[in-house]
Structure 1
Amino acid sequence: MNKAPPRPAAQAAHEVRIIGGLWKRSKLPVADRPGLRPTPSRVRETLFNWLGQDLSGWRCLDAFAGTGALGLEAGSRGAAEVTLVEQDPALCKSLQATVQRLKAGSVRVERGDGVAALRQRAGQGLDLVFLDPPFGDGGNETLFGTALRLARLVVADSGLIYLEAPRTWGDDELAQIGLQTHRHGRAGQVHFHLLRPLPPQ
């Protein structure tokens, strides 16, 4: 009786890779945690095509970091300052280990709540905020709305907000928060948006 061949694809599901920049091809572990849903490589590739490949000098916040794939991708592409905020202590420990392994001096890991971290940074004029909160059973509508409103207060008028959500956020509801869609895409059940602040009235 033949043994079943090994299945490397199963192992691959427990890691993602940085796709560009200084740390290209570096592996990031993906813990088996409820709601942890790393941004797929093809979505990150699209996003960083939109942003441009060189983020030199940018100041970034990854408010619901998880694996850190978004923030570390920004750091890999030259961002001057990246803060990864994560509430789960085990994920925080994993992020710290990854930052040390990459010798990522521009990246800081902060344990805490993403919404609280956004609230603390109001008025800081960051260049880019990543919002990829857990979707939850009901879509976490309140969390998404709160995070978007606070992120608008954190970014500069010329800054950008990246949002992953279980649905499309339309221009009318975004306008009420002071935001507009710059780019939008969809991958499976995930809708991803690059948002800009509306010009001051």
Structure 2
Amino acid sequence: MPKPSRGQLRIIGGHWRGRKLPIAEVEGLRPTPDRVRETLFNWLQGEIADSVCVDLFAGTGALALEALSRGAAQVIAVEQNRRACDQLRRSAEQLGTDRLQVVCASVEEFLTSEIDTATGEPWQILFVDPPYQLGFPPPQWQPLSDHPKLASEALVYLESARQYQQIDLQLEYPQWQTMRCKVAGEVCYRLLQRLQA
């Protein structure tokens, strides 16, 4: 049985670069490794400023907080664990930002209901880092892939276990093109872009 995560999360770039924030002690929580985050935000370099982002399965908030540090206009962090949500809110307070909206709900609830979000703007960048045991793509991909709030050329970061790196998501979901795909250790991570109809 995995031990609860302990310690701190370090923001690696942008306005809050080097800031360390506590991580909620929740079993199975695994922040996206620094090396993977560095690559991801290099990929997003020209896109992140002033964007509206959604972090599904937010967990430690590593991706949400990194996006804010690098200039995202607004981030909606969706996480169902109450303790993790409380820590995300405390982290936003510590950083003095009101640009993080924490939604304490399951991803399914968030995607299929009218949960009020502070922004009416389309979602431009999404971070999807589900528990690996959900498989690939995770079951939540279907309601996400055609969601009405997605921007016409939305970008999605999708993380999975390494064993799924050979799966071509575009065969089943032709409206999504894989822009980048990389493996680091046991992690496979992709950047997908929604194709205009």
TM-score (norm 1): 0.82
Which string of whole-angstrom CA distances, capped at 9 and with x for unpartnered residues, describes residues 2-51 of structure 1? xxxxxxxxxx9621211111111111322342221100011000001000
Q: Report if the CA contact (8 A) 2:153-2:196 is conserved.
A: no
- Give the aligned residue type for 1:174: Q
Q: Percent identity?
A: 39
How far does residue 53 in structure 1 lie from its aligned partner after superposition? 6.1
Which ranges of structure 2 fall in alignment gaps of 5 or more residues? none
Q: Report if the CA contact (8 A) 2:23-2:87 is conserved.
A: no
Compare the two structures and name the one with the higher helix fraction. Answer: 1
Higher radius of gyration, 1 or 2: 1
Question: Over the residues paired in the alignment, what is the CA RMSD in angstroms?
Answer: 2.4
Which string of whole-angstrom CA distances, capped at 9 and with x for unpartnered residues, describes residues 46-72 of structure 1? 001000066222001001111101011
**Corresponding position: 1:163 with 2:152:** no
**Corresponding position: 1:197 with 2:191:** no
Secondary structure of 1:146's aligned partner: coil
| Whole-Å separation in 1 of the counterparts to 2:113 and 2:73 | 20
Alignment of 1:37-116 (within 5 A): 37-52=30-45, 55-116=48-109
Which ranges of structure 1 fall in alignment gaps of 5 or more residues? 1-11
Secondary structure of 2:139's aligned partner: helix
Secondary structure of 1:193's aligned partner: strand
Give the count of matched residue pairs.
Answer: 184
**Corresponding position: 1:176 with 2:169:** no
Shift in alpha-carbon separation, 1:176–1:198, aligned structure 2, 3 A: farther
How far does residue 186 in structure 1 lie from its aligned partner after superposition? 0.9
Q: Which residue of 2 aligns with 1:24?
A: 17
TM-score (norm 2): 0.84
